[in-house]
Structure 1
Amino acid sequence: MRSLLVIELHTTSEKAAGGEARPNPMTHKETPVYILKSNGYQMRRAEDAEQAEKHLSDVDAVILHMPLDAVKVWGPRITKLRGLPILWWCSAEAAALSAEYCESDIPIDGLLGPSMGEWELHWALHLAEKQRMERQQWKLERKQLEARLEERKWIDMAKGILCKIKNISEAEAYEVLRKQAMNERKRMVDVAANIVKVHQLLQDMK
């Protein structure tokens, strides 16, 4: 992981969160682009969405240098465009402007800071990639679970309708659905959904 994109948002506010004075502006040598470039990384920089989108296909990770409330907006936006590790650059300014941020669901995979050395940066980025992969796997498993629950809902509803109409048990209703799905070469959930929708349509016509 050698090519990085830093997205920096600057605020014109004179006060940090909580009314405290903002830290002094960073010098050039304190910026994330300078620090990361000095440690051997190929750097891209963006200040808006248009610039960021141009660079996303060429980088291995994204560094967000901004208050955490802005991170919450940018994280999902980047993930939607490309699955990359997302890290927050915790400078004194960004931390001060995030002092009152209290939400726990922050869409980042890791944390970087100006005091980190070469190997600290290396391992932070390495672990962020691992965290990104785990986050993607968790999202996939959640999506699959939600799909199974949705399928189970349609099947249970269809079984209930069949039990009532045919005066049969749930086991028998399940077998009816299974055989119908085999005969029509369809998924059982599709057969169940059709039964439920037709039944609801007939009920609405009464």
Structure 2
Amino acid sequence: MKSILLLEKGRPPISLHSLQQNCKTLHRAANAEEARKFVGDAEVVVLHVPMDALQGWQSTIAGMRRVPTLWLCTDGAIPKNIDWGYTLDGVLFGSMNSLEMNVALGWGQRVFQQRKRWAEEREQLMQRIEERKWIDQAKAVLCEIKGISESEAYDFLRKQAMNERKRIGDVSASIVKVYQLIHG
């Protein structure tokens, strides 16, 4: 790993030997302004902050850049309830040796990539649902205006999209919007 950004806020300093051994550069920041300088280079952000400040710092970092985010927890601060409601990619402990830290950092990056893929897939599915709504509305409009069946309306939309070299959802949205403008 090339670069880690360690955000330390309101926590007693701990030995960073294991963390330093797992990167070429360890940037340290105590506030958002300092973090902003280094977050562009960081492959991972490690938050060494009290648990009640985690959500705020996660939002701050996510506003700067989407990057794997792990929490460096002191062994005495382990929460009893595992469902914290945070979107952490992993948890590190100061007592971890270098190998354990390396595995945890790698796992955190993997979790982040998986979460990123899921978000992209979700976005694509939401777009498909939205496109499907426009297509269904446009088919209803065409059935009403042209007096044709749904399958004929769909064929009409598909052919129109090919002729205009546009997506069928875009053609459908245009038809529905014009219909609403005229009949609205």
Do the structures match in fold with TM over 0.5? Answer: yes
Q: Which runs of 5+ in 1 are unaligned?
A: 11-24
Q: Tell me the amino acid that sits aligned with residue 146 of structure 2.
A: K
| Inter-partner Cα distance in structure 2 for 1:199 and 1:103 | 49
Q: Which runs of 5+ in 2 are unaligned?
A: none
Larger displacement relative to structure 2 (139-148 or 57-66): 57-66
Cα separation, partners in 2 of 1:168 and 1:51, compared to 1, 3 Å: same
Deviation sequence 1:77-123 (CA, Å, 0-9, x none)? 43443342210111257x37x6789643x221111011111111010
Matches within 5 A, 1:2-13: 2-10=2-10
Say how many residue pairs are matched.
183
Contact 2:71–2:92 (8 Å) recurs in 1: yes
Aligned position for 2:149 = 169
Aligned position for 1:14 = none
| Inter-partner Cα distance in structure 2 for 1:69 and 1:197 | 48
Contact 2:22–2:102 (8 Å) recurs in 1: no
Aligned position for 1:89 = 72
Q: Tell me the amino acid that sits aligned with residue 192 of structure 1.
A: S
Contact 2:4–2:27 (8 Å) recurs in 1: yes
RMSD: 2.4
Aligned position for 2:117 = 137
Instruction: After TM superposition, give the deviation of residue 153 of structure 1 in Å.
Output: 0.9
Contact 1:86–1:108 (8 Å) recurs in 2: yes
Q: Tell me the amino acid that sits aligned with residue 40 of structure 2.
A: S
Secondary structure of 2:166's counterpart equals coil
Secondary structure of 2:4's counterpart equals strand
Contact 1:90–1:111 (8 Å) recurs in 2: yes
Q: Which of 102, 124, 127 is 2:107 aligned to?
A: 127
Cα separation, partners in 2 of 1:79 and 1:116, compared to 1, 3 Å: same
Deviation sequence 1:153-194 (CA, Å, 0-9, x none)? 111111111112222211111011111112222211111001
Aligned position for 2:182 = 202
Aligned position for 1:159 = 139
TM-score normalised according to structure 2 size = 0.86
Q: Tell me the amino acid that sits aligned with residue 137 of structure 1.
A: R
| Inter-partner Cα distance in structure 2 for 1:123 and 1:2 | 15
Q: Tell me the amino acid that sits aligned with residue 78 of structure 1.
A: I
Secondary structure of 2:40's counterpart equals helix
Secondary structure of 2:39's counterpart equals helix
